[in-house]
Amino acid sequence: MDSPVNSTVDSTGDSTGDVPSKRRVPQQTRSRGRVARVLEATAQLVVAGGVETVNTRVIATAAGIPVASLYQYFADKDEILLALVERDLADVDAEVAADLAELSLLSVRTIVETTMRAHVNVYRRRPAFVVIWLRGRTNAAINDFCRGHNRLMAGRLFELARGAGLVADPSTTLHAQLAVEVADRIFQLAFEDTLEGHSAIIDEGIDVVTSYLENHATPAGISGVARR
Amino acid sequence: MDSPVNSTVDSTGDSTGDVPSKRRVPQQTRSRGRVARVLEATAQLVVAGGVETVNTRVIATAAGIPVASLYQYFADKDEILLALVERDLADVDAEVAADLAELSLLSVRTIVETTMRAHVNVYRRRPAFVVIWLRGRTNAAINDFCRGHNRLMAGRLFELARGAGLVADPSTTLHAQLAVEVADRIFQLAFEDTLEGHSAIIDEGIDVVTSYLENHATPAGISGVARR
Amino acid sequence: MDSPVNSTVDSTGDSTGDVPSKRRVPQQTRSRGRVARVLEATAQLVVAGGVETVNTRVIATAAGIPVASLYQYFADKDEILLALVERDLADVDAEVAADLAELSLLSVRTIVETTMRAHVNVYRRRPAFVVIWLRGRTNAAINDFCRGHNRLMAGRLFELARGAGLVADPSTTLHAQLAVEVADRIFQLAFEDTLEGHSAIIDEGIDVVTSYLENHATPAGISGVARR
Amino acid sequence: MDSPVNSTVDSTGDSTGDVPSKRRVPQQTRSRGRVARVLEATAQLVVAGGVETVNTRVIATAAGIPVASLYQYFADKDEILLALVERDLADVDAEVAADLAELSLLSVRTIVETTMRAHVNVYRRRPAFVVIWLRGRTNAAINDFCRGHNRLMAGRLFELARGAGLVADPSTTLHAQLAVEVADRIFQLAFEDTLEGHSAIIDEGIDVVTSYLENHATPAGISGVARR
DNA sequence: AATGAATGAGGATTCATTCAT
DNA sequence: TATGAATGAATCCTCATTCAT
């Protein structure tokens, strides 16, 4: 994973899927399995009934642990969903990084397409994230986290493109920012009524983002440059 | 208001802001003022504290009526926010229609810019809508309604553009659909932390949408045609 | 109707089915139809959904009149059900009186059987009464009224039997009282899960009551005496 | 308690009065005292004001616990009254079983009298049950439970009598069923306006039931057989 | 570390009834 | 007489979170 796009949002987060977050997180050496079980149970519940149906009792029951024990691994209820989102976004990061690393021709279009398709791949693998972020309207923490992730993603991609000489001079990260947010909305539409994502919308969405960013690209950004 | 873009989403909605909606809402003939007062009070509360802070008690208190009376005008709590959204979207419709009606040069860009700026104008006038729709995470009914409104808006604008010969042949409403949703997300970003809306984001957003739609435009769509 | 058993419980009640009750009952000359309509609507609702599903709104809607108008004809909600019960018990009285009047052989058994079958006949015609009295557990007023009716019924039948020389000397109305209440419970059982009433239970119930009362009968009470 | 009549309706019910019932009632191991306190408080309230006066707030206050805690021990409000009824009926079962066990002469009359007097004894000890079941008009669950109890009681007594050779051949449990229901109504009358129960009515009621059942008895059923 | 037990805080809705017109 | 409009009063239940053990 030596791709230029690989730092995760939360440096404390690793991709084992067992790490919740923030304060008051005790020894988790022993309870790895339980945290993962909680996350998995939550994911299933979310997919089955939407974010509004999950509550501590339901989660604990599904995970097979007492409600009170949830608070051993998570500071509060919101953190559970947040941990799930963090886990899945780490997956997104990994997939994006890996797929971009394989690109031989760097151009605005190839980067956009690769990145967006990488997202779609993960979303199909992680339906809970789709339900939480793309459909559900949940808590502020998740909103902040995902927005922050969008910003990081935009920054990374911008650097990648600029480093490759694809970006016309007066461009700023605001453009990348907007592009990422727009893509996010495209995904929202594409996954609105199916966990598979409508291909037509995704394809068209790639055009939306590409055509916008090409306005800010160098000629090389449009025709592409060979990697390395 | 003789613009081709002027039908409201819900034909029962007028812009007096006095008409709630749907089932089992008996009287509204006599109590005009009270319904408006409830809506106004709710709007203020929403702006002051966000959607999650409004509840029946708070609304009733702010409106100066008993909680039970709310149920004379609205079937349930969700309908109150929905009525607010309907009222404000009717306002959006009116503004968009009026502004488009004044356009002398029709082009993809002028239509996009006029429409988006009309939205911004209303949003500045109706901060509650911004909080509910662009920020808040509310109920399914509102989501459905706003989504439906987006769809209607897309359809109307598409017809306007096509009627003026701006749209290249193979284009469909899907393109308009995406454009509207993208614009919606732009607004979300622009109003994320200010009720005024960041001008830079809005300006850039107009470019995003325009540059995408111009891909599907006729030459006239880009250069523009004189009205009528 | 010159039968010995014919006085109704409430002397103000006639059998047109249009007369509600008690205080604050204004001119009903004009609104005959509406009172009857309310009663009929209530009866249907009760049969359809049980006593607990009827409320003023539902009744008024079903009757096609405003809720407030109910209070023109009935002092309160309970009075509506009570009026229904009164109407149906008047029907019971009439049927019992008529059927007893046709009896040519008076004996404990013929009186019991005739009376109980008369009840069953009316119950089948008046399912609302079955639901209200035999199944539903409603308000105190209805309870009092029906109990009072039972008492009157017991008194009347006792007099009839004693007048015909069927009753052994030390018997009192307590015995008749018990007999009537027991019969009432039999009906409750018989109509518990069908508005037709289980014939087997009714037949057996006639035996229960008869065999008890024959303990207190004269020989003539058992063998019977010719009428008049 | 080796009488043939001793199984309780609900096998989970014991007579400590500490075991509520059914779904989602998590803990009761530790909080014995509180459940009993709730039941006791409810009983007092019921006796003092009738079933319709009890609500969660009143119960909780009387029991000295928060309303929310009620939902630790009972799934909903109805379950509280149901638990009370279950407790008291378990008491009835015990008393009936014990008293029947002491009978040296088994006959229709001794069984009926013993059983009915056992009921009366418990009812005097458990006035809340009288108010709930004999007077009150409560919820469907209680109705079902008590009806079911009547059926069980009838079945048990029928077996006892038949085992002792008291029952004439073509008799079925329907007869026992009716007898029990009739007795139930007698109790209703006897306790209608006093928590002591009118002796005259009870005595007469025993005659009602006995005289009916003796119609279906063997000669031994009438004269009696020595126990064992 | 784990959890049974407890609870504060909150929130939505129903409904019979009244009264001015 | 009729009724649209208004409301006082009441009630059940959920849920995240804490804490003693």
| SS3 label, residue B189 | helix
- CB-CB contact of D115 with D96 (8 Å): yes
Q: Which nucleotide comes closest to A54 if you measure CA to C1'?
A: F15
User: Which helix or strand (DSSP H or E) is residue C225 part of?
Assistant: strand C225-226
| Length, in residues, of chain D | 228
Residues in C touching D175 (Cβ below 8 Å): 204
Take residue A138 and report the two structure tokens written for it: 């949940």
CB spacing of D204 vs C174 below 8 angstroms: yes
Q: What is the DSSP letter of D170?
A: T
Residue A43 has pLDDT above 70, yes or no: yes
Residue A224 has pLDDT above 70, yes or no: yes
> Angle, to 10 degrees, between the axis of helix A108-125 and the axis of helix A199-214?
150
Q: How many other CB atoms sit within 10 Å of the CB of residue C139?
A: 19
Give the closest of B136, B185, B211 to A181, CB-based. B185
Instruction: Enumerate residue ranges in chain C where pLDDT < 70.
Output: 1-32, 228
CB spacing of A201 vs B184 below 8 angstroms: no
| SS3 label, residue C126 | coil
Q: Which of B130-144, D80-94, D96-110 is predicted least confidently?
A: B130-144
Strand E proximity: list residues 77-96 of C with CB under 7 Å: 77-78
Q: What is the mean pLDDT of chain D?
A: 88
Interface test with B, best of A134, A147, A150, A185 (most B CBs within 10 A): A185
Q: Which residues of B touch A (CB under 8 A)?
A: 136-138, 143, 174-175, 177-178, 181-182, 184-186, 188-189, 200-201, 204-205, 207-208, 211-212, 215
Q: What is the mean pLDDT of chain B?
A: 88
| Calpha distance B97→B202 (Å, rounded) | 20
Q: Give the per-residue pLDDT at D67.
A: 97
Residue nearest to nucleotide F17 (CA to C1'): A76
Q: Give the per-residue pLDDT at C33.
A: 86
Q: Give the per-residue pLDDT at C134.
A: 85
CB spacing of A181 vs B184 below 8 angstroms: no
| Calpha distance A108→A179 (Å, rounded) | 11
Residues in A touching B184 (Cβ below 8 Å): 185
Query: E18 C1' – A171 CA distance, angstroms?
Result: 70
Query: F15 C1' – A55 CA distance, angstroms?
Result: 8
Select from A173, A174, A177, A209 the least CA-distant residue to A190: A209
Q: Give the per-residue pLDDT at A31.
A: 60
CB spacing of B182 vs A184 below 8 angstroms: no
- In this structure, the strands spanning C225-226 and B225-226 are unpaired
- CB-CB contact of D66 with D60 (8 Å): yes
Maximum distance among all Cα pairs of chain D, rounded to whole angstroms? 60
> Is the Cβ atom of B24 within 7 Å of strand E at any atom?
no
Q: Give the per-residue pLDDT at A38.
A: 97
Give CA torsion, residues A58, A61, A62, A65, to 10 deg. Answer: 130
User: Which helix or strand (DSSP H or E) is residue B114 part of?
Assistant: helix B108-125
What mean pLDDT comes out for the span D55-61?
Answer: 96
Select from C207, C155, C197 the least CA-distant residue to C178: C155
Strand partners, A225: A106
Nearest Cα of chain D lies from the Cα of C93 at a distance, in angstroms, of 22
Residue-wise pLDDT tens digits, C88-133: 999 999 999 999 999 999 999 999 999 999 999 999 999 999 999 9
- CB-CB contact of C159 with C6 (8 Å): no
Q: Give the per-residue pLDDT at D19.
A: 39
Residue B89 has pLDDT above 80, yes or no: yes
Percent of chain D past pLDDT 90, that is, above it, reads 79
Take residue A66 and report the two structure tokens written for it: 């007492």
> Is the Cβ atom of B44 within 7 Å of strand F at any atom?
no
Residue D30 has pLDDT above 50, yes or no: no
Residue D183: CB partners within 8 Å, gap ≥ 6?
Answer: D112, D115, D116, D119, D205, D209
